[in-house]
Amino acid sequence: MAIERATRPNVRRGRPPGQRRAVIFDDTPQPSEWRNIWVAIFGFYILFAETGVRQVMNGFVEPVINTYNCTKDEADTAVLVVPMASSLILGPFCSIFYQRTGARISIIVGAALTGGSFVVGPFCKSIYLLMLATFGIGIGCGLMRNSIISIQCEYFKKKRNTVMAAISIGPGLGIFILPKTLKYIMTKYNSWGPAWWFLSLFYVVSAIMALFITKQPSEQTSSFSFSSAIKVCKRIEFDLHLIACFFASSVTFIYLANILILMESEKIEDKEGIYGFQGLASIGGKFVLTFVMSLNKVHNGIIMIISYAIAQISLSFAAFCYSLWQFRLQNAFAGIGIGLYQACLAPFLVAIVGPSQLAYALGFTNLINGISIISGVWISGFASKGTTGEDARSAFFISIWLGIAAIVMSIVTSFLLMAREKHKRKPSMKQMKHSSELNTLTNITSVENS
């Protein structure tokens, strides 16, 4: 006996109580970010004029000694320690200034300070007045560097990593071109003053470029508060990154202060050209990194570990260099490692703290780098043991241990960052309960059912 089922009436379900929510999808095509490529070009040039110049200041040590009849320690302090340390230690101040005034004013003020200091420096009557002038160079460079890197995040959202890597090629070009250029000017005029006046022209162009930058820092970072700056330091990955930077920057300064002395003691000809070869190698490394970052297939932490390993090992390897080809090879790998680090630093910090806190992260990173420059002189014993080739080689032997510590800390930092990101990509149901993605999905389902 067949059992007949009653036909169920087709009754439309009523809409759930409450206000109906509609989900609107904006299909309007967004303009390409490459229309702001001019900002990246400005960043390339300004970093060329800022970091590239500071990295070749060691070429003025000997002329300054002859002019002021001072010790090498005083000359190193005037043309290396003061401008580099001040530009880095005052990083938090530069971040505050950028947040308050924006990139345009910050870059113009920085260019005026740096260019003016290069103009008045040769007129200083004592080595201590020259230190005061180079202090102005350091402040100006810090203002320019922090602002031009941070403003890239306002113009580029999707292409941020690629642009950051591209503009970091500028310093490598400066290290490659400027040593021989400055040496030619000093030889032709038999003075280091015209070389400084030549460098001041770079900052006039930088100030003109800044006039076209109109965007201000985002609303999240447009006003400074102490709690916002300290919030960056509450991330364990960022704290470990600062420790790694301390060791790595000490190694870098030992290299800058001693490499020319070591090559001179080994009778290496054209030591400035060999040192400048580092800049050319860094350009090649940054080009490769720019392509790799555009693919978005390699984590920034892995790139950072590779850059630390190549840079720290090759910088310290100068302790074992005696011939021309050894110094060439050592400077080439040092340039590649430093180039990878400079290109990866900003994207790596964005991965740790986010783009809205990049200015603060750069400020604290520069602060630690500046402290490490001062401590690097004491740690290596460079300031107290003399200026011979053997003294320089001893400093490089000490830098080996600092480099090992930097590599270990970078590995710990990167793996901790990758582990945290992996955990965020797999949220629990409790985390998803109040997430915007789940609420949006629920709203879409409600609209379809209604």
Q: How do residues 2-22 score in pLDDT, each as one tens digit?
A: 555 555 555 555 555 555 555
CA distance 96 to 197: 30
User: Do 34-216 and 225-427 fold alike per CATH?
Assistant: yes
Q: How high is the pLDDT of residue 120?
A: 94
Residue 144, pLDDT above cutoff 50: yes
Mean pLDDT score of the chain, rounded to an integer?
A: 79
Residue 371 φ/ψ, nearest 5 degrees: -65, -40
* Spatial CA neighbour of 409 closest among 299, 247, 249: 247
Residue carrying structure tokens 């820092």 = 217
Q: Domain 34-216: what homologous superfamily?
A: MFS general substrate transporter like domains (1.20.1250.20)
Q: Of 192, 63, 75, whose CA–CA distance to 130 is shortest?
A: 75
CA 62 vs CA 67, 85, 127, 231: distances in Å: 9, 20, 13, 44
* CATH of 225-427 among 3.30.830.10, 3.40.50.1980, 1.10.10.10, 1.20.1250.20: 1.20.1250.20
**Where do the structural domains in the chain lie, given as residue ranges?**
34-216, 225-427
DSSP letters of 177-204? HHHHHHHHHHHHHTSSHHHHHHHHHHHH
Q: How many CA atoms lie within 13 A of 414 on its CB side?
A: 24
With 0-12 CB in 10 A as exposed, 13-18 as middle and 19+ as buried, what is 291? exposed
pLDDT 10s digits, 234-254: 888 889 999 999 999 888 888
Q: Among 287, 326, 315, 344, which residue's Cα sits nearest to residue 173? A: 287
Confidence of residue 348 (pLDDT cuts 50, 70, 90): confident
Q: How much is the average pLDDT of 39-63? A: 86
pLDDT tens digit sequence for 151-190: 887 888 777 777 877 787 788 788 888 888 888 899 899 9
Of 114-128, 156-170, 210-224, 401-415, which range is least confident?
210-224
**In percent, how much of the chain has pLDDT > 90?**
21
The predicted structure's pLDDT at residue 449: 40
